Each structure stands twice: as structure tokens, then as C-alpha cells.
Amino acid sequence: MGTLLVRDDLRLMGFDLKKLREKMVQEQIIERGITDRRVIQAMLKVKRHEFVDEALASRAYGVSSLPIGYGQTISQPYIVARMSEALEVFPGARVLEIGTGSGYQAAVLSEMGAEVYSVERIKPLYIDALNRLTRLRYFNVKLKLSDGTLGWREFAPYDRIIVTAGGPDIPYLLLEQLSEQGIMVVPVGREKRKQFLIKIRKNNTKYVKKNLGPVQFVELVGEYGWEKGGNRGYN
């Protein structure tokens, strides 16, 4: 059974996906303190059920993260909104995303007016996200199959960088690819699956860090992540 047919079946079963999305935004995002109108409007527009497995589509607007295969997840809606708001995205901003996953975060940033460059290390997820984002016509999102901790130098510098996996340190190469006055949002922690969400604002040669509180992400794997022991980053 094809994806579109399954989505239609959900409607026939009594799932009003638009109302579920509106309820998600009201209860999980607005009522929890997210005020950026661009974030709110983007999450109202992006069809989150299109970014999860067919069997999980009816749970797409719940409060939890959901598995997308290969040990990876699509973050819970509030975390997506919180990170998107912290980025302070403006129309036309060049955003580097580390960890494409399902493509949902990239789609939200795209709806906020960003030009998104997203790197994914797991080939099947990369292929699925590429096909999905193309089908949904997110043509201002470019994808690359690579080690995300190395960034994507070809299109640097970036106005904003978002990292959707947690490492022990902040990869140096990502900081080097951040523009002047740029902002990075990244989970960092010396224990796997236990991090703090850090917002970094670059000011000339200095970096001003702000701790946004505890979070739990999958591991950031790569040359400047857990794979190499995390001893080649900035903390």
C-alpha cells in the first residue's frame, strides 16, 4: 500500500491530520512558551506525519520522539520548535544542519525562509530524506551524504548552524564555518544521551555561550564526535 493511500486511510479512520497538527502546535509549542511566529507558522504548515514511517503516522503529532530507523529518531515537536526559535532564523538565512534524519527539521527551517544545507551520515536515511523532501517540494533544501562533524565547507560561511545529535564537544570545524555574528545551536554532553542544549553566538573572534537546559539526543558520530573520543572540539 502506497504512502499517499495510507495517509488517506488515516483520514477515513477519523484522524483529522490538520486538527491534530493545530492541537500539537497549541498544546506542545505555544502553551510551552514558544513565541516566534515564524516557528509557529512553519510547524502548522509542515505535515509531520509525512516524515515518519506509515505505521507511526497516527502518532506523529504526539509529545514523543519517534524512531526513524538505524538507531535515529525524529525529535519531539517541542524540541524542534525550541531549537528553531533559538536559531533566530531570518528569511534568506543560510543554515547548515548536521543530521538530516527524516528531513522534518530541515522542512521547518525551509518554511521559515531559510536556505538549508543538511548533512546526513547514514545512507538509507539520506536517500529517504532526499526523496521525501523532493516529493514535498522543499527545493531550497540541499542534502549531502557525509560526516556531519566536518560540516560542508563548499557553501560556508553559514548564518546559522543547527546540530541534531549530541557530542562530547562542539566540533571545531563547525565553528570555523559559522559567519560573523552567526548562531549555532548544539546539544553537548560528556555522557551519551545526556546533554545540555547550548546556544553559541559568534562575535568576531569570540564565542558567547548560553545553556538552554538539559536535553537528550542520539549520539553525534564522526571525526569530531564520539567516534574519535570527542577530544578535538571546543567546550
Express each pLDDT in 50-73 by its tens digit. Answer: 999 988 988 999 999 999 999 999
Any domain includes 18: no
- C-alpha closest to that of 106 among 131, 90, 87, 129: 129
pLDDT attached to residue 235: 54
Is 50 exceeded by the pLDDT of residue 5? no
Any domain includes 170: yes
pLDDT attached to residue 208: 95
Which pTM does this prediction carry?
A: 0.90
Any domain includes 45: no
pLDDT attached to residue 192: 79
Residue 179 among the catalytic residues: no
| Cα angle 162, 29, 166; round to 5 | 30
Q: What whole-number distance in Å separates Cα of residue 157 and Cα of residue 160? A: 9
Longest dimension (CA), the chain: 57
Q: What is the mean pLDDT of residues 59-88?
A: 96
Express each pLDDT in 185-215 by its tens digit. Answer: 999 998 877 899 999 999 888 999 999 999 9
Any domain includes 105: yes
Is 50 exceeded by the pLDDT of residue 3? no
Any domain includes 210: yes
CATH of the domain at 230: 3.40.50.150
Compute CA distances 7 → 2, 4, 23, 105, whole Å: 9, 5, 18, 20
Q: Higher-confidence residue: 233 or 152? A: 152
Residue located via cell numbers 510551552: 32
Any domain includes 25: no
Report the 10 Å Cβ neighbour count for 1.
7
Any domain includes 56: no
Q: What is the mean pLDDT of residues 72-85?
A: 97
* Cell numbers for 75: 525529535
Is 90 exceeded by the pLDDT of residue 8? no
Terminal CA-to-CA distance of the chain, rounded, Å? Answer: 48
- Out of 58, 75, 84, 102, pick the active-site residue: 75
Domain count, the chain: 1
Structural domain including 90 reads 62-234
Is 60 exceeded by the pLDDT of residue 6? no
Q: Higher-confidence residue: 227 or 160? A: 160
46 sits in which H/E element: none
Any domain includes 122: yes
